[in-house]
Amino acid sequence: MDFNDTSEEAAYRKEVRAWLKANAPRTKGARDGGLEDPVSMDDSRAWQRKKAEAGYACITWPKAWGGGGGAAWQSVIFGQEEAAFQTPANPFAIGLGMCVPTVMTVGNEADKQRFVRPAVLGEEIWCQLFSEPSGGSDAAAARTRAVKDGDDWVINGQKVWTSGAHFSDFGLLLARTDPDVPKHKGLTMFWIDMKASGVEVRPIHQMSGASNFNEVYFTDLRVKDSQRVGAVGEGWRVALVTLMNERLSVGGGGGGSNYRRLLALAGDIQTLTGLGVKDAALREKIAEWYVQAEGLKYTTFRTMTALSRGQTPGPESSIGKVVSATLMQDMANTALELEDQFGIISDPANAPLAGGFQTALMNAPGLRIAGGTDEILRNIIAERVLGLPQDVRLDKDVAFKDIPTGR
């Protein structure tokens, strides 16, 4: 049980830190979703290229594909160290974390040669086109149709909650090719050119005011059969490869609101019984949240230890988001309660701590839903980790077109 780096890890960390110090750009505020700004996108691309050229982009990928040819623990250490710098926003995460690895695993040789390296270098950005208005958690219920027409496929339908579709070059699209078989069997995966005619991207105006996601409409979008990723009817199996890669990427902590900021706030605010930081009920809550936040941090250290030892990490990393999202929401709500009437002010100029807890409150609902809702994540823990039986599925052995639909 050693919390400290091994000598090998310490040496790598030192090397990474020195490289970051010499090379990381001093970009202010770019992490606040400023990707609409072309300057910040240029910054992001430049930073990605710099990392790729030094072998720090896609550290675990083979050098032949533009990666670093390194180990998973190195990737974790680089991520930890990079987080200490104010680096540009990362619009490449979905492509490099999910879409491109799918192409590398399932795609044909020509696609691999064509797509992997430009993605690593930050020249091309990918988005993932799975979720649809009729099926958020139920991704296999996709209705977007792809119909064979000679050597082409013609695609019609709509995707939703697509992160970064507005600045993506390519998308990985899950489409229904056969509605006459059960839902998991009638899907096929394609890559598409996001700039092609027949693709329309419309930003979603989120409750937080920001627009990080999009709706994507397909109207008679024509794609070649060579754009198919995997066999016809194998789309769900390919999608699972994508989602597996999502789970393999080791996540960080919660972010947003944290107990340090809450302690700072409580040290500067009066309650009826004195200074907020002396309030026993608040202190109990802070202790509970501390234990959750630190517990998550140490859980990622357990994952990293398994990677360091060359083992497959246990399922414990699956608890991350389900804990951190609610933690963020509850902490923000308590902070606002502490601010009392001031809590309604979100204007950074007037709100305590520049309105950080107000922002967290408005972002938290999205965090509890995106990438698997709290409920779906609990199902996944129960079924895949604990081995409990699946719920009764009314749609399993029915032709997709005969599955009942509500709204």
Partner 1 sequence: MDFDFSDDQKFLKTEARKFLDARCGVAVVRGVLDDGAKAYDAELWKAVAGQGWLGVNIPEAHGGLGLGGVELCAIAEELGRALAPIPFASTVYFVAEALMLAGSQAQKAKWLPKIAAGEVIGCFATVERPGVLTEAQVQAKVEGGKLTGVKLPVTDGDIADLAVVLAKQAGRGSLYLVELAGPGVAREVLTTLDPTRSAARLVFTGATAEPLGDPGEGMSLAEAILDRAAVMLAFEQVGGADRALEMAKEYAMQRYAFGRPIGSYQAIKHKLADIYIKNELARSNAYYGAWALGAGGSQLPLAAAAARVAACEAFWFAAKENLQTHGGMGFTWDVDCHLYYRRAQQLGLVAGGAKAWKERLVSQLERRNAA
Closest to 131 in 3D by CA, of 161, 175, 170, 171: 161
Distance in angstroms (rounded) separating the CA atoms of residues 113 and 118: 9
- Counting contacts by CB under 8 A, is residue 32 touching partner 1? no
- Counting contacts by CB under 8 A, is residue 210 touching partner 1? no
* Closer residue to partner 1 in complex, CB, 42/288: 288
- Counting contacts by CB under 8 A, is residue 394 touching partner 1? no
Stretch that binds partner 1, among 195-203, 246-254, 336-344, 370-378 (CB under 8 A): 370-378
Helix (H) or strand (E) holding 241: helix 235-248
Q: For partner 1, which residue of 27, 74, 308, 363 counts as binding (CB under 8 A)?
A: 308
**If you write DSSP's letter for every residue of 4-41 in order, what string do you get?**
SPPHHHHHHHHHHHHHHHHH----SSTTTTGGGSHHHH
- Counting contacts by CB under 8 A, is residue 378 touching partner 1? yes
Stretch that binds partner 1, among 107-115, 189-197, 356-364, 384-392 (CB under 8 A): 384-392
* Closer residue to partner 1 in complex, CB, 114/285: 285
Q: Build a one-symbol-per-residue string for 317-346: x at contacts with partner 1 by CB under 8 A, - elsewhere.
A: --x--xx-----------------------
- Counting contacts by CB under 8 A, is residue 312 touching partner 1? no
Give me the least distance between CB of 390 and partner 1, in Å please.
7
Tell me the number of residues near partner 1 by CB under 8 A: 53
Residue 153 near residue 108 (C-beta atoms within 8 A): no
- Counting contacts by CB under 8 A, is residue 364 touching partner 1? no
- Counting contacts by CB under 8 A, is residue 294 touching partner 1? yes
Among all chains, which residue has been given the structure tokens 């393999």?
Answer: 248
- Counting contacts by CB under 8 A, is residue 296 touching partner 1? yes
Q: What is the DSSP-derived secondary structure letter of residue 201? A: E
Q: How far are the Cα atoms of 49, 102, 151, 223, 232 from residue 226, in angstroms, in the given order?
A: 29, 16, 9, 8, 11
Give me the least distance between CB of 372 and partner 1, in Å please.
12
Three-class secondary structure assignment of 312-373: CCCHHHHHHHHHHHHHHHHHHHHHHHHHHHHHHCCCCCCCHHHHHHHHHHHHHHHHHHCCCC
- Counting contacts by CB under 8 A, is residue 280 touching partner 1? yes
Helix (H) or strand (E) holding 300: helix 280-308
Contacts of residue 247, Cβ cutoff 8 Å, sequence gap at least 6: 317, 318
Q: Build a one-symbol-per-residue string for 230-269: x at contacts with partner 1 by CB under 8 A, - elsewhere.
A: -----------------------------xx--x------
- Counting contacts by CB under 8 A, is residue 304 touching partner 1? yes
Closest to 327 in 3D by CA, of 261, 266, 382, 371: 261
Helix (H, G, I), strand (E, B) or coil at 72: helix
* Closer residue to partner 1 in complex, CB, 125/327: 327
Q: For partner 1, which residue of 149, 220, 268, 383 counts as binding (CB under 8 A)?
A: 383
* Closer residue to partner 1 in complex, CB, 40/292: 292
Stretch that binds partner 1, among 61-69, 121-129, 199-207, 305-313 (CB under 8 A): 305-313
| Beta pairing, strands 170-176 & 126-129 | parallel
Among all chains, which residue has been given the structure tokens 């992997």?
Answer: 116
- Counting contacts by CB under 8 A, is residue 290 touching partner 1? yes
User: How many Cβ atoms from other residues are within 10 Å of residue 53's Cβ?
Assistant: 13
Binding site for partner 1 (CB under 8 A): 1-6, 9, 73, 259-260, 263, 277, 280, 283-284, 286-288, 290-292, 294-299, 301-302, 304-306, 308-309, 316, 319, 322-323, 375, 377-379, 381-383, 385-392
